[in-house]
Amino acid sequence: MSGDATPIPELIGRKRDGGELSGDELRGLLDRYLADLMDDAQMAALLMAGVIRGFTRDEAIVLTEAFIASGERVDLAGLRGPTVDKHSTGGVGDTTTFVVAPLLAAAGCQVAKLSGRGLGHTGGTIDKLEAIPGVRTDLTIDEVRAQVERVGLAVASATADLVPADKRLYALRDVTATVPSPALIAASVMSKKIAGGASTIMLDVKAGDGAFSPRVEDAVALAELCVGIGTAHGRRTAALVTDMSQPLGDAVGNALEVAAAIEVLQGAGSMRLRDVSLALAAGTLELLGRGGDEALEEVTALLDGGAALERFGDLVVAQGGDRRVIEAPRDVLPVAPVIRDWAPASGIVHAIACRRIGEIAGMLGAGRQRAADVIDPAVGLEIHVRVGDVVAADGRCAGRPAVRIHAADEASADHAAEALAQAVVTGSAAADIVPLVHRRIGFDDLP
C-alpha cells in the first residue's frame, strides 16, 4: 500500500477546490479504496470533484499507472502474429468491435480485446456479446491467451485480477454521473489496453451528442491524451475521432446490435457502421506498416469475401455460443415480445437526439440505471433513418419503418414512442450532414 496517509476528506476537499493531487496521494487513495479503507461515498465525492474541477494530465497518467499496477497483465509475447487491440470510447449503436476484431484476425493479427459492460447511456460490448445464447465472456487470462493463439481473437471481460481498481470504479462511475471526465476515461481505457498486452492499439474516440465528448475539439484532446499515454508505454497507438451526433449502426440494444453487426459482416446493413469499421481496421494495419490505400483494400476484400464473418463465427464457438448466429442472427438471438413501428412527421430528418436514443433504449431495459440492474438483451430500437433522409407520408424511409421499437410490454412501447417524438426532428429544408471521420491522430509520424 502507498505510504501516503493524508486524511481522505482533506484530499477530497483539495480536489473540490481545484487543487492537484500528487502521485503518492492518488495511489494512496486507490490503495485505501481497494482495501475497503475508503468507502463508496468518499470515492464518489472525489470522482465528482474531479469531473467538475478537472483532473490534470499528470493525474491521468498516475491514474493509468495505478490502475495497471493494481492487478495482473496479459502476456501476449510469443503469439504467431502482431498483437492488436481496439477500443471505442462509447456511443449509441456502436458495434464496431464485432466487425473490426474479426477483420483484423482475418488479416493475420492476434486480437485480444478486454471490454466492459454498459456505462451511462451507451451499450457495453460484453453485454452485447452475451446476448448470443451460450456465449461466456468471463475468460481467465490464460484462456484469453490460449483462444487468441487458437482462433486469432478473443473478446472477454476484464477479470478481477486485471486492473481491479478500474473495474471497481467503472461500476461506481456509472451510477454517480461521473462518467464524462477525459482523465478518467483515458485512464480507464488505456490501463485496460496496456494491461491487455497488445503491442498495437487503435482507438475510436467519439464526438457528438451521443458521445462523452459532444464537441469535436474535446474529443480530439481526449484522443491525444490516450495516444500519448499509449505511446509513452511503448505501444503503437493511434486514434480516429468519429461522429456520434446520431446512432452509428441501425440498432440500439444488445441482441439487436449483434444482429446489425452480423448483417454488416454479411455484406449488408448500415453503411455508417461498415465505413467506420473499415477505417478502424485499415488504420490498425497502417500502424503495422502497411500503406493506407493498401490496408483499406485488404480489409474491404476480407469483409466482402466473407472471411471476417467466418472469424466472428469462430469467436462465437470458441466462447460457447451457437455458430448459426452468423447465418440467421434473428433466428438465434432473443426476440422481444412487443415489436412496434414508429415514425416522425414526414419530411427531411434534421436531427436525431443521439444521447436520448440511447436513454430510451435504456428505459426499455437495454441498459442499467444502477450497477446491480439486470438488462433485457432482446429490447431496444432499430433506427433506419439518418440526418438527411426523407421520411415518407406512410412513415417509411427507403421502404423500411423509420424506427422499430422492441419492448418487453405494451406500456414500455408506449413510453418509448412518446419519448421518440422529441428525439427525431424533421422539416422541409435540406439538412446539414456531419462528416463520419473528423480527425486521424497518431499517424503523422509513421514510417
pLDDT truncated to tens, each residue of the chain (447 aa)? 455 678 999 999 999 999 999 999 999 999 999 899 999 999 999 999 999 999 998 999 999 999 999 888 888 888 888 999 999 988 899 999 999 999 999 999 999 988 877 655 666 899 999 999 999 999 988 898 899 999 999 999 877 778 888 888 877 887 898 987 889 989 988 998 999 899 999 999 999 999 888 999 999 999 999 999 999 889 999 999 999 999 999 999 999 999 999 999 999 999 999 999 999 999 999 999 988 789 999 999 999 999 999 999 999 999 999 999 999 999 999 999 999 999 999 999 999 999 999 999 999 999 876 667 789 999 999 999 999 999 999 999 989 999 999 999 999 999 999 999 999 999 999 999 999 999 999 998 776
Q: How far apart are CA 419 and CA 313, in angstroms?
A: 36
- Residue 327, Cβ neighbours under 10 Å: how many? 12
Catalytic (active site) residue 87: yes
At residue 416, the pLDDT reads 97
Q: Which pTM value belongs to this model?
A: 0.89
Q: What cell does 324 get?
A: 448459426
Catalytic (active site) residue 188: yes
At residue 387, the pLDDT reads 96
Q: What cell does 172 get?
A: 461506481
Segment holding 8, helix H or strand E: helix 8-16
Domain 83-329+437-441 = CATH 3.20.20.210: no
Helix crossing, 254-265 with 307-318: angle to 10°? 140
Could you tell me the CA-to-CA distances from 221 to 57, 241, 409 in Å, in that order? 11, 10, 43
Q: How far apart are CA 110 and CA 85, in angstroms?
A: 8
From the list 173, 235, 272, 404, the catalytic residue is 173
- Residue 328, Cβ neighbours under 10 Å: how many? 11
Helix crossing, 271-287 with 292-304: angle to 10°? 130
Q: Do 44 and 7 contact (CB within 8 A), yes or no?
A: no
Max distance between CA atoms of the chain, in angstroms, equals: 68
Q: What cell does 2 get?
A: 502507498
Residue in the structure block whose three cell numbers are 449488408: 268
Q: What cell does 165 get?
A: 481498481
Q: Do 311 and 102 contact (CB within 8 A), yes or no?
A: yes
Sign of CA dihedral 12, 14, 18, 23: negative
Q: Do 352 and 383 contact (CB within 8 A), yes or no?
A: yes
The C-alpha angle 367, 368, 369, rounded to 5 degrees, equals: 130
CATH no., domain 335-427: 3.90.1170.30
Q: How far apart are CA 221 and CA 227, in angstroms?
A: 10
Ranges of each domain in the chain: 8-54, 83-329+437-441, 335-427
Catalytic (active site) residue 173: yes
Domain 8-54, second-level architecture: Up-down Bundle (1.20)
Selection from 274, 263, 211, 260 nearest residue 382 by Cα: 260
From the list 188, 191, 213, 245, the catalytic residue is 188
Q: For residue 155, what are the β-bridge partners?
A: 113
Residue 72, Cβ density class (10 Å: 0-12 exposed, 13-18 middle, ≥19 buried): middle
At residue 43, the pLDDT reads 96
Q: What cell does 61 get?
A: 497518467
From the list 87, 167, 272, 355, the catalytic residue is 87
Q: Phi first, then psi: what are they for 340, rounded to 5°? A: -140, 135
Q: Do 302 and 308 contact (CB within 8 A), yes or no?
A: yes
Burial code of 342-368, b = ≥16 C-beta within 10 A, e = fewer?
bbbebbbbbbbbbbbbbbbbbbbbbbb
Q: What is the DSSP letter of 366?
A: I
Q: What cell does 201 get?
A: 492499439
Q: Do 364 and 412 contact (CB within 8 A), yes or no?
A: yes
Q: What cell does 302 get?
A: 476480407
Burial code of 242-261, b = ≥16 C-beta within 10 A, e = fewer?
bbbbbbbbbbbbbbbbbbbb
